[in-house]
Every structure is written in C-alpha cells, then in structure tokens.
Structure 1
C-alpha cells in the first residue's frame, strides 16, 4: 500500500474510534468555502444551496429557466416591461406573506449592492397588486430572467433588513431556515414547517467549512460527515474503495483557466499567449492530476452551454516546437539555465491560485513544470481567492489559475457582458484587453429574439475568444463528491445552485 494511502487509512481508523455517533435526524455537509455574513451579495450561494432562500425563477439541470417563487412571467413586445406572477400562499420564515411589495423591497436592496442585478438596466421594480411584480427597463435585456434566478437576487422578508438595507437576520422562503449561524465555519439549518412546497425529509442540516480537502475526505470515511463536496484528486482512489462511501463525479459548466494581465508587455501579444497555451499538456493534466477522462479544454465556455461553445473545434495537442518558434520569432532565446531571455530580460511570471479548490495548486505546479520546458520561469503562490479580483483592479496580478463558473447565471450572456461588453471589467475575466467587435456582438444579443441569429452571434463570440486568447482555457471542471451510504436520494445540481437536501433521506439500516 502506498505511504499516502496507509496514512489515510490509519487516520480514518483513529477518527472512527473517537467520533461520536451520527445524529439520526441531522445531515452534515463539508465544503471548502468559508462564509462571513447572511448578506446574499456576499454569501448568497450558501443560502440557496442549503435551500434557505429562493429566487423568483429556478434553473433545471440543462440550464432552462423554471418557475420559482414566480409561477409565470412575460415581457412586452418592445422588451422594456417584464411581469412576474407570484405564487399564492408562500410565507417567509418569520410568518410574513410573500407579496409583490416584499419582492420589490428585496430586489431594490439586491440592485443597490454588488451582484449581477446591479449591472442590469432596470429603471424600477413596481408592485401591481399583491401578486404581480412589474419590472421596467431602460433598454431590452434578454438575460433579465436568468439574472433573477441568481443567488444574489434571492427574495427575503422585509424584516431581514435594517433601515440601511443590511441583512440582520436572513428570513427566506425555503424548506429550511437558519437555526445556528457561527461564521466562518458552522451554519445550521432546520426544517421549516410552513414551506409552500413538498416538505423536507431530514429535520436538520449542518454545513461545516474545512479548508483541507484531505481532512474532509477523512471525515466522510470515518462517518463524521455525510456529504463532502470538492474533493482533492489524491483522495479519490481511497474513497472509492470504501464500502460506506460513494463517490459521485459530475461535469459542471466551469472551466479551469489561466487569467492573464494583458497590459503586461510579457503577455500582450497574441502569439505569446498562443505559445503558452501550446506548451500545456492538457491530456497529461486531466489524467495525471485530476484523474478524470476527457477534461481537456480548448475554449472558455464549456460544452454544456452549447450556444456559446464551438462543437466542431478539437483541442489542440501540446506542441512545444511550435510554441518555441512563436517565442523565438519575438526575440526570445534560451540562456544557459534554459530560461528565455530577450534584451536582458528573463521570461519570468508570477502565478497566483487559491486553496478553496484543492486541485488548483496541484495543477499550478504541473503547469509550472510544463512551462519550464518552454523556457518560462513560473513562480507559484497560494493566496486567498479574494486576492485575485483585488490584483485585477490594482493591476498587480500577472497570472492566476482560476476555476470560472460560466453557469453562474443560467444564460452566460450576463457574465460575458460583464467581462467583454462595453466597459466590461469583470473581476475574474480578461485583464488589460479590448476587442473591437465583441462589445457590439454582446450588446446585440441583449435584444435578439430570433434563436437562429442569437446562436450565430454566440458562435462568433466563441470564435473570437478562441482566436485571441484573452484567457487561456486549461481543463473543464469535474465536481467530485463523497456521500455516506446512509444518505438516500442524493443528486447533484450541475449549476451548483442547490444541494437538493430537501429530497434526501436516511437509510433505515444505517441509523
């Protein structure tokens, strides 16, 4: 048995010996992301995943919009007026009735804070009677419905906010309500008896933050945790050999990519970026590091978002010879130590990544070795994920390895507008790069109603991003989840909006 696997086994035995019996009425979930508030603009993803807060619209596994708190919606012929009909009889956790006035208040607060709604051209949210929300736009905006399905657009009770619009106690409409709030590592929720839909089967759920993926894997092996999200690749083989654990692998619309500062002279030219891309052995990375098949990414938007993905474009194989020729044409020559130099300057780059997704550091060190073969000296550091948008805005970031969620909004147009639209400067998008054609293409998509023209324009956007490489795609992301055998009814939301815990139950034999 390899040393690493032996250590895992011994630690799991120790944990089993000292762990308390699992609460038969409580589901425990382990994840990597800390939380600090109950404000949807900051940590709203956690409250939709734990089914505490809900949005007007929902999203199915294929990215199609479904009724949520709104049972129907429509828009005017000119696209400037949208109406949403609210469900009848929905109550917030504080007992207040959901009505159009409460929805207006929640969306006005969301619009005033950082989030996708702030970028939408909304002139006003208005109540028309008790059950109709009217939204007036300054210009047509196709992604509005998808934006209202985003976690920052959840609908909270008016009692959730103070006079300044800050959330003091989150009161949503979901099948669970907050019972214990101990940031940044412990959040407990309890079943809400007054839920408007099908009641949850499990009484209590606790979310526990644990930074080290190895620790989370050990906890589920030892029976201390029921579900663990975002596993490290090294733990997968050992977990798959456990009788009391099932490992689930799901492709999600997230792309691991290299974010570059194109204002840096080292990275400004398209041929340089192409050389760095050609130096990547994507097949080796997906097989040797992630340990999943067919994860190589040749474009930014993953296949699940088919309108924006070029289906007939193969992933270019590694081609070091061509990569070296592209750099040599720009005057780069190898020095005695193998690092490229030009006019006395070494080709040296600084890469940042973050520990919240454990595979990123392993991938970063592998990329470091692959680029070293090209002659690029890459220095790797692990930082807080918040340091990357901070470096984007102050210009200090040079290269970052990130996992970008293109399904964060059901229609990726909103995200692409934030990154590449007129004035776009998204925190996780391109840096120091503008294209003469992209903003007009994306602007036209906001008002396009013809599906054929919409698809053709989306394909053109995808082609520009492939050709110009403002960011370098590396791999498509696979979510790895370990689930205790005592959990029944587990399923995974590829858009990562909802843990679907209300549909789960415990196996009678395991309690």
Structure 2
C-alpha cells in the first residue's frame, strides 16, 4: 500500500535540549509547550511554496477558480502513486464508493454480489457512463484497468484473485479462496478506472482521463493541476466549475494563503496555524475525527526490542495526553489504544487503556537486565541501549512528537537519535531490516473496512506500515477468519476484540495520539465538508457563497 502522504524532504537529525532546571518528567512537555506557543511565522517572498501558490508553476488562478492547498506532491500519474489526489479532486472514480460511516455505496458499479461459496464476485456497471474524452465506460475497459492494478503492488494483492474478466455488463472476479472485504478493496484509489486513451504504447499512464465530475485541464508535476467541471447541462451557476490543487509543503504557508484569500481550502494544518485562523472572519474551520493513529513502529526482531518488556517500558514512558495537549491542543486525542473511537466496531471501550508510568517502565527495564550506567543510559552485557527513531515532515506534528518521545525515553535510560527524512524511509527500512523505530501516522481508513489494511499490517509477514519482526498466531487467525467468512455478529465482534487486545499486550506498534483533521475554508465558498475517509474534497458539492 502507499503511505498516507509522501513527498521528498531533506533528511536531518534532531537532538533535544536538556534543561537542568526542569523536573525530568516534564522536560519534553515544557519544550513542546514552548514550541506550540511560538508566534505564527510569515512566509518569505522567495519561499518556494509561496512561489507555487502564486502561480509560478502555471497561469495565476482566476477569481472563479477554487484553490485547494495541501502538503501532498504528485509523484506521477500512476493510480498507485498519485491516484489519491485524482480521486480527491473528483477526476477519477472507482468501482465502488463509501459513505461517511464506511458503508459501501455505488460508484461506477450499481450492484454487486458474491456467489454462495464466496469464490466469485459480480459487479454490474451502471449504464450510460462516459470518460472525459467522450468514450463509453465499458466492462472491457474497466476489467483492463483492474487487471492492470492487480498486476502491480497494491490492495488487490491482499485477495487471492485468480481472474478478472468482463461478462455482459458485469465485471467478474474469481478468487482462489473467499475474501469478504473484496468490495472494499475496489474503493481504494489504486483501483481507479481510467479511459483506454490514458495509457501509452508501453502500458504506462500517459494522461489521467477519468469519469468523475471534474476533468484535468492542466497539470504541472509535482506541484499543481487544474480541473474543470464536466458539462452536464444541469449545474447551478453558483456551483464551482473550475478548481486548482497546489502542493505547499509548509503548514504556515498554507495558512498564509487562506488568510490572504489566495486559497479557498487548506488541509493538514498544524496547531499554530489553527490558532492563527480561529479569529479570522474570512475563514471557517471544519474538523472531523479520522480513523488515523500516530504510533511508534518497532522492529520487534531487533536485539534491543525483541523483549516485550522493553516494548512495554517504552509504552509506559509515553506522555500521550501531554503530547496531545501541548501539540494538538486536544488532550482527548491521547491514544489509549491503537484504534480510535472513530473506528466503530474496532475501538474496544473495555480494553485496559495504555497509561503513563515511568517508574513502572524503569522496573521493567531492570527486570530485562538493562542497568543504568554512569551517563544515565542503560547497558546490558556491554551493549548500550541506543536506538534511532525515524520520521518525516509530511505531517508537521511528527518531528515535534518525535522530540518529545526522545526526551521521554531518555528519562528511563534509553538513548534515542531522531532522524527526520522522507516518508519512503519507513517502508524502505522495513524491507531492508534496518529500521529500528519509526514514528508514523497510519490511516486505517485507506480501505473503509480495516480488515484488509490490518491483514497487510499485522498478518504473518507484517507490513511496511505495521508490524516488523513480530508474529502472533492468535491475532493472525482472527484476521484470517474476518477476511474469509461473513460469520455471525458475535463471532466477528470476538475476533475484532482479539486483534485489539493482542496488539495492546504485545505492542508491535505503540500508539501515541489519534488524529483530528482540521480544514480551513474561505468564506467565499459554501457547502464544504470533510470526508472522514479522505477520499474526496467534495468539490462537486461546493458553491460560491
């Protein structure tokens, strides 16, 4: 699967300042509070983000163009790479869609059903649909796109798909074994459907010709693309007809643009930006809890992290509520378990919550044979307990959270070096086996039924954004049953509880905070809303105020 958000940034190391005047448990939170209280920064005239936003990558946006800014770059035209942006701007569609509660609804397919043995699924195309070049959306063209997606790394690899073919108005999937979440995989952006003319002679994507409400009129990789509404004869004059997306890496620059009226929607805002916008009469703030958790991904196969007592000690020294209060300005986002309350059916209110107890953490490390040396860092058999925590800046809060974790772990005798690099460093380190710890923000709503994502993350082999060097037969068995059979409600509830409890006890990943998406919207537009699964910016519902 692709990461939540990915674009390149220069790598650098962070080290925390040590304040001898502060009490040891509070050093990190005092630093966080100071960082969160910094005045709102201004963008320089020569700032690259500012240049992109002022149209140096293309023609300046007119007053009738809705401008969206976010941190995500377009790394190519392939659906598996940048398909999420073409979906968010409503250019390309998938076979199925989801509602705000994660339930399936029609997309390009109007109906779907499985055979009694679960080995065959039929998806019936809605009639009369056309691509943006005027060609019809045919079963053959849809099947070709899905065959292509299945041949590449992506969510369709999670199902044992043996064949994808067109039959009448149906797309027929034949499986080697039952896979209940298959329809949810067909809501993922990597399975989006493009017109035959989108592909070059070698089968590569040469142009994005979709079937959604908007079509692309200009594209300048990796920063920007423009869209216009497909003429339908019934669009109100107040509806947005033209829109532009611009990649702007710095949160403060995105905020400056929406404050100045140069952007209409700004996503992925940091707390200082949110505070700066609250009193602005020309901007409205929207928020929604998302099925995303920021957690520490651990290499449980590493000699320093293989002992579950060490992982439990790290979990006990994390000040979740304090980090959420100081950085996110919302103490309720402190993650008491992996699955947030927004994940109905997976959040287990009966599960003993994760807690903060540095004294208990020290006792566990003592029991594991790690003794405090003269410099305050633990050693065992001549080996120093020193680890590297890797993270990235696509989400502006991650480096600050990493600095807090660095100090909190130092307080119990673990030396941590924080490296801020590219989001691609996490899966690369997983695959090479070199990753020790990674701070990531994992979106469990990439596929609205999280079984598919969890199978990828916590199945027998682990996953790029999930477990590393860790296996658990009980958890894997529960996930396999959830994927293979519909089952009754009680048995499925029990399997979900098993997964949640096992992850809480074994801690292949350590939850830190949950996530609330905050979006700034200009007052010159109305009807904007947040998609809790981040599939769409819902431009087709926006109108000029």
TM-score range, shorter chain: over 0.9
1:42 aligns with 2:81: yes
1:8 Cα shift?
A: 4.3
1:302 Cα shift?
A: 2.2
Native 8 Å contact 2:462 2:471 kept in 1: no
Q: Alpha carbons of 1:120 and 1:162: their partners in 2 closer, same or farther (altered >3 Å)?
A: farther
Of 66, 72, 75, which residue of structure 2 is paired with 1:33?
72
Native 8 Å contact 1:91 1:196 kept in 2: no
1:61 aligns with 2:100: yes
Partner of 2:277: 239
Of 441, 460, 464, which residue of structure 1 is paired with 2:502?
464
Native 8 Å contact 1:90 1:196 kept in 2: no
Q: Distance in 1 between matches of 2:382 and 2:226?
A: 58
Of 417, 437, 445, which residue of structure 2 is paired with 1:407?
445
Q: Distance in 2 between matches of 1:242 and 1:324?
A: 47
Partner of 2:317: 279
TM-score (structure 1 length as normaliser): 0.93
1:371 aligns with 2:378: no
Query: Does the residue aligned with 1:294 lie in a helix, a strand or coil?
Result: helix
1:337 Cα shift?
A: 2.4
Q: Deviations over 1:390-435 (max 9, x none)?
A: 011011111110000111111111111112224x332111111111
Instruction: Map 1:51-450 onto structure 2 (within 5 A).
Output: 51-129=90-168, 131-194=169-232, 201-422=239-460, 424-449=461-486, 450=488
1:493 Cα shift?
A: 0.3
1:469 Cα shift?
A: 0.5
Query: Does the residue aligned with 1:77 lie in a helix, a strand or coil?
Result: coil
1:195 Cα shift?
A: 9.4
**Structure 1 stretch displaced more, 433-442 or 148-157:** 433-442
Q: Deviations over 1:316-338 (max 9, x none)?
A: 33101100000011122222222
Q: Distance in 1 between matches of 2:41 and 2:425?
A: 33
1:10 Cα shift?
A: 11
Query: Does the residue aligned with 1:268 lie in a helix, a strand or coil?
Result: coil
1:27 Cα shift?
A: 0.6
Structure 1: gaps spanning 5 or more residues: none
**Structure 1 stretch displaced more, 368-377 or 71-80:** 368-377
TM-score (structure 2 length as normaliser): 0.88
Native 8 Å contact 2:40 2:252 kept in 1: no
Q: What is the aligned residue count?
A: 499
Q: Distance in 1 between matches of 2:123 and 2:456?
A: 25
Q: Distance in 2 between matches of 1:368 and 1:486?
A: 43
Q: Distance in 2 between matches of 1:287 and 1:409?
A: 29
Structure 2: gaps spanning 5 or more residues: 1-35
Q: Distance in 1 between matches of 2:124 and 2:135?
A: 18
1:473 aligns with 2:511: yes
**Structure 1 stretch displaced more, 429-438 or 322-331:** 429-438
1:200 Cα shift?
A: 9.4
Native 8 Å contact 1:81 1:135 kept in 2: yes
Q: Alpha carbons of 1:74 and 1:198: their partners in 2 closer, same or farther (altered >3 Å)?
A: farther
